[in-house]
Amino acid sequence: MSEQSPDDPFKDCELGPDAILGTVTFKGVLFTEETETPAHSKTNVDEARAFAAGVDSDTPQIALQASVEAQIETASKPYTAAAFFHFKATGSLKRHRAYHAAYESEAFAVGFETDYESSDLTITDEKVTELERDEA
């Protein structure tokens, strides 16, 4: 990585912004109707989506699959809510931290789309130009 300024949002990240720019689809990470569940845990995607949307957070949440072990141990639902860039969805803590830094920075526009039918999460990260910031 190049020399970073003290106010660089990526200063504590192992990945720089170029590592996450563009559009990436993370396959099979969201809760679906086909998610394996113990017998006590009956639910559907609409309930999971509503649960994630209802979490009081400044960061948009998604419904991820909870492990069967966790469901049995805690008698909980087969899903859990997490930030859309959570490491369970993006596959690594490095990517999680980089997306979080970009999401918190005015220099980037980070958005996401969920497809609960296919269990895919798509994250798009783009640099915002000075002109776009002035227009906002």
Mean pLDDT of 63-78: 82
Which residues on adjacent β-strands are paired with residue 79?
65
Collapsing DSSP to helix, strand or coil, 113 comes out as strand
Q: Is 129 exposed, middle or buried (0-12, 13-18, 19+ CB in 10 A)?
A: exposed
pLDDT at 98: 97
Q: Is the pLDDT of residue 2 over 70?
A: no
Residue 116 located in a structural domain: yes
d(C-alpha 78, C-alpha 71), whole Å: 6
Residue 74 located in a structural domain: yes
Mean pLDDT of 80-88: 95
Residue 50 located in a structural domain: yes
Task: Output the average pLDDT for the chain.
Answer: 87
Q: Which two tokens stand for residue 72?
A: 């049995």
Phi and psi at residue 120, to the nearest 5°: -100, 145
In 3-state terms the chain splits into helix, strand, coil percentages (rounded to 5) of 30, 25, 45
- Please, what is the end-to-end C-alpha distance for the chain in angstroms? 30
The residue behind tokens 């997490």 is 82
Residue 39 located in a structural domain: yes
Number of domains in the chain: 1
| Closest of 75, 80, 65 to residue 34, by C-alpha | 65
Confidence tier at 57 by pLDDT (50, 70, 90): very high
Residue 5 located in a structural domain: no
92-133 pLDDT tens trace = 999 999 999 999 999 999 999 999 999 999 999 999 976 455
Query: How many residues can be counted in the chain?
Result: 136
d(C-alpha 64, C-alpha 46), whole Å: 13
Confidence tier at 1 by pLDDT (50, 70, 90): very low
**Domain around 28:** 17-135
Residue 3 located in a structural domain: no
| Closest of 83, 117, 115 to residue 100, by C-alpha | 83
Residue 8 located in a structural domain: no
Residue 49 located in a structural domain: yes
